[in-house]
Chains A and B, each alone.
Chain A
Amino acid sequence: MAQFSFAFPKPGTKKLLVGATLGAALAIPALLAGLLVFLVPMVNKPLLDAFIREKLGHVPATWVGTQWVYAAALFLAGIAMFTFAAITGGIFSWYERRVAARIQSRIGPNRVGVAGFLQWIADAVKLLFKEDLVPGEADAMLFRAAPYFVVAGMTLVLVALPAGQAIVVADLDVGIFYILAVTSFIVVGILLSGWSSNSKWSLFGAIRATAQVVSYEVPAGLAILVPVLMAGTLSTQGLIRAQGGWPWEWFFFRNPAAAVAFFILFISQLAEGNRTPFDLAEAESELVAGYFSEYSGFRFALYFLVEWANLWIIGAVATTLFLGGWQIPGVSAQTWASVRGAGSFPAFGWWALQFVSLGIFAVKTLFLVNVVIWIRWTLPRIRIDQMMNLCWKYLVPAGFAAMLFTLVWQMVATWAPIVEKITALVVFAATVWVTWRFLQQTRKNVSLIAHERVDLSNW
């Protein structure tokens, strides 16, 4: 990539900015990880009790209104998750622009901070200061309310979405189903924003988005059923606990149908998140900006916050269901228990392992986030009838087939567990080989561009 230059009036400014960037780049992830690891597990009541008892030296039962303390802890954990979503969303916005620029042989944002790292803060501030316009003739109340539905749908998902062994706000019995359900807030928000804008393009986009999301919920639901059948639970943590740390213990490899289901889910999530090649709802070249054409300022920022925070959700859901979640290779449930120690408040090693599990989860998720970004900047958009065809004629039948196959497969696996082990290894080996071939082909394609890269800056 071409080098980028800074031209600041005073040398001190540059140093300051570099420092700020580095500080932010280190501090923000550390802050997020700390928030997640220390605050979120505290929602667990025994853990919080133990913390108050052993670290603060109080007996919670003697307090006035103990349950409000628990409620406050819950609230704090919720705030932590929202902060996490907002900050990752912001960083993803910068990251996607940099990746897009790299793909397009551009430089991308590079003015605010080193490599433009603080660009997302600048953008957020700019958008907050812009006028919050409501078009005349728009249904002002619904127009104002619509973005909150969208944000609520995204935030509520995070409640049941794990990020580590004990890092989940609420390990619901209906976990993954809850995630599917609260996502429907987003549809309502989109529909409202499109209609209340009183613009034909907005309505067009909203209707496309709704048709798309409602349709793709079906294959997504079917694909989710495959790991659910394999784990025998809907709880997100239960799903992860049913998998293992090594790749061949992941659901993705344990069952050929699960691999298919992974791709069905991934495609459906792209569609539900309105990402290319399914970005029909905000198709710039057709619908201007789709359902949020008329939005500006703060509310516009909310849509984009959701769009990028959604990246994390796409990756995290797929990781949870198919890629072993936070499971650390070689660390079993017994290890977790022994590291935790006998005391009611866990020992240091347990907290350290939480960090590791968070790291593993984040790496897998971020890999999928990268894939989503690559796809977005590579593929054209499909047409609405093609999108519907793909959903109803291919993904839904394939989802059914995968589900039925899994039912049979579970019986076989119970009858002869060795079959599952062998399959896992075979599928894993096949995946490695396919990845290797893909990389080779990519190398070849790159080398086919015979001419040397031209320096754009001075030619």
Chain B
Amino acid sequence: MGASAETVLFWIFAVPLIASAAGVVAARNPVHAAMSLVSAFFWLAGIYVLLTAHLLAFVQVIVYAGAIMVLFLFVVMLLSLTDAELGLEKLSALKWVGVVGAAGMLVLVVSALAQSGPRAMRAVGADFGTVRAVGRILFTQYLLPFEATSVLLLVAIVGAVVVAKEKI
């Protein structure tokens, strides 16, 4: 497809992505916030597809939307917080600090990006983003981080079990 359809698709994915990301922060109900996050993940996956990173897109969907967010929702739903427990919307001093920090971060990143300016993008190979290419790079160039990640996951499991166990 030509550039115009791609652009249209980009906006189709990008606008709801920003909207749902804002929804995560703005939603009072934690379930709504989590759902906004799920939808943000889906839109983000769409953008990955536009970038011909198919594998990444679906890894994103299966891991984040399918597994992590589901477990997240699981917990949030079981807690079933009431409005009283969620607390009233108040702009405390700490929140102001947060707002200022976020704004500072935004300024930092935007100005950094603006300064570095547009750069020539390398053309990607025909097999870019395919399973074969990603697999090859994972098992050659990124072998050590890839294998270390397995240790990380194991630690996470053991740690979670240790923390969650009712008694030692």
CB contacts under 8 Å to A, within B58-82, are 58-59, 61-62, 65-67, 69-71, 73-74, 77-78
Given contacts A173-B130, A214-B67, A214-B71, are A184 and B61 in contact (CB under 8 A)? Answer: yes
B91 — which chain A residues lie within 8 A by C-beta?
none
Q: Is there an interface contact between B54 and A188, defined as CB atoms closer than 8 Å? A: no
CB contacts under 8 Å to A, within B105-134, are 130-131
B35 — which chain A residues lie within 8 A by C-beta?
142, 188, 192
Q: Is there an interface contact between A181 and B130, defined as CB atoms closer than 8 Å? A: no
**Which residue from A174, A194, A195 sits with its C-beta under 8 Å from B58?**
A174
Given contacts A174-B55, A187-B66, are A70 and B74 in contact (CB under 8 A)? Answer: no
Complex Cα–Cα for A234 and B135 (A): 12
A67 within 8 A of B: yes
A71 within 8 A of B: yes
A217 — which chain B residues lie within 8 A by C-beta?
62, 66-67
Q: Is there an interface contact between B62 and A184, defined as CB atoms closer than 8 Å? A: yes
Contact code string A36-65 (vs B, CB < 8 Å = 1, else 0): 000000000000000000000000000000
Q: Is there an interface contact between A207 and B65, defined as CB atoms closer than 8 Å? A: no
Contact code string A231-266 (vs B, CB < 8 Å = 1, else 0): 001100000000000000000000000000000000
Q: Is there an interface contact between A177 and B69, defined as CB atoms closer than 8 Å? A: no
Complex Cα–Cα for A71 and B9 (A): 11
B92 within 8 A of A: no
Q: Is there an interface contact between B61 and A191, defined as CB atoms closer than 8 Å? A: no
Q: Is there an interface contact between B70 and A181, defined as CB atoms closer than 8 Å? A: no
Complex Cα–Cα for A142 and B38 (A): 13
- For A145, give the chain B residue with the smallest CB separation: B35
Q: Is there an interface contact between A174 and B54, defined as CB atoms closer than 8 Å? A: yes
- For A221, give the chain B residue with the smallest CB separation: B62
- For A70, give the chain B residue with the smallest CB separation: B1
Q: Is there an interface contact between B62 and A181, defined as CB atoms closer than 8 Å? A: yes
B31 within 8 A of A: yes
Contact code string A176-205 (vs B, CB < 8 Å = 1, else 0): 011011111101100110110000000100
A127 — which chain B residues lie within 8 A by C-beta?
none
Q: Is there an interface contact between A139 and B130, defined as CB atoms closer than 8 Å? A: no
Q: Is there an interface contact between A173 and B4, defined as CB atoms closer than 8 Å? A: no
Complex Cα–Cα for A187 and B35 (A): 12
Taking residues whose C-beta sits less than 8 angstroms from the other chain, chain A's interface range is 20 to 34
Complex Cα–Cα for A15 and B133 (A): 63
A194 — which chain B residues lie within 8 A by C-beta?
77
B1 — which chain A residues lie within 8 A by C-beta?
67, 70-71
Complex Cα–Cα for A192 and B70 (A): 10
Complex Cα–Cα for A202 and B41 (A): 26
CB contacts under 8 Å to B, within A131-182, are 139, 142, 172-174, 177-178, 180-182
B84 within 8 A of A: no
A210 within 8 A of B: yes
SS of A interface (majority): helix
Q: Is there an interface contact between A214 and B70, defined as CB atoms closer than 8 Å? A: yes
**Which residue from B32, B58, B67, B74 sits with its C-beta under 8 Å from A178?**
B58
**Which residue from B31, B66, B74, B131 sits with its C-beta under 8 Å from A234?**
B131
Report how many residues on chain B are interfacial, defined by Cβ distance under 8 Å. Answer: 27
Q: Is there an interface contact between B131 and A195, defined as CB atoms closer than 8 Å? A: no
Q: Is there an interface contact between B58 and A177, defined as CB atoms closer than 8 Å? A: yes
B2 within 8 A of A: yes
Contact code string B39-63 (vs A, CB < 8 Å = 1, else 0): 0000000000000001100110110
**Which residue from B5, B65, B66, B131 sits with its C-beta under 8 Å from A174?**
B131
Complex Cα–Cα for A419 and B63 (A): 38
Complex Cα–Cα for A210 and B55 (A): 24
A68 within 8 A of B: yes
B73 — which chain A residues lie within 8 A by C-beta?
188, 191-192, 195
Q: Is there an interface contact between B31 and A142, defined as CB atoms closer than 8 Å? A: yes
Q: Is there an interface contact between A195 and B55, defined as CB atoms closer than 8 Å? A: no
- For A207, give the chain B residue with the smallest CB separation: B74
Complex Cα–Cα for A185 and B69 (A): 11
Q: Is there an interface contact between B77 and A180, defined as CB atoms closer than 8 Å? A: no
Complex Cα–Cα for A191 and B69 (A): 11
B71 — which chain A residues lie within 8 A by C-beta?
214
Given contacts A173-B54, A192-B35, are A184 and B77 in contact (CB under 8 A)? Answer: no
Q: Is there an interface contact between A188 and B31, defined as CB atoms closer than 8 Å? A: no
Task: State how many angstroms separate the Cβ of A434 from the closest Cβ of chain B.
Answer: 35
- For B31, give the chain A residue with the smallest CB separation: A195
Task: State how many angstroms separate the Cβ of A39 from the closest Cβ of chain B.
Answer: 19
Q: Is there an interface contact between B74 and A182, defined as CB atoms closer than 8 Å? A: no
**Which residue from B61, B62, B131 sits with its C-beta under 8 Å from A173?**
B131
- For B2, give the chain A residue with the smallest CB separation: A67
**Which residue from A71, A187, A234 sits with its C-beta under 8 Å from B70?**
A187
B54 — which chain A residues lie within 8 A by C-beta?
172-174, 178
B55 — which chain A residues lie within 8 A by C-beta?
173-174, 177
Complex Cα–Cα for A234 and B58 (A): 12
Q: Is there an interface contact between B61 and A195, defined as CB atoms closer than 8 Å? A: no
Cross-chain pairs A/B with CB under 8 angstroms, 19 sampled: A67-B5, A68-B5, A177-B58, A177-B62, A180-B62, A182-B61, A184-B62, A184-B65, A187-B70, A188-B69, A188-B70, A195-B31, A206-B77, A207-B77, A214-B66, A214-B70, A217-B62, A217-B66, A217-B67
Residues on B facing A (Cβ under 8 Å): 1-2, 4-5, 29, 31-32, 35, 38, 54-55, 58-59, 61-62, 65-67, 69-71, 73-74, 77-78, 130-131
> What 10 A-B pairs have minimum CB-CB distances, sorted nearest first?
A184-B66, A181-B62, A181-B58, A181-B61, A195-B77, A67-B1, A67-B5, A174-B54, A173-B130, A178-B58
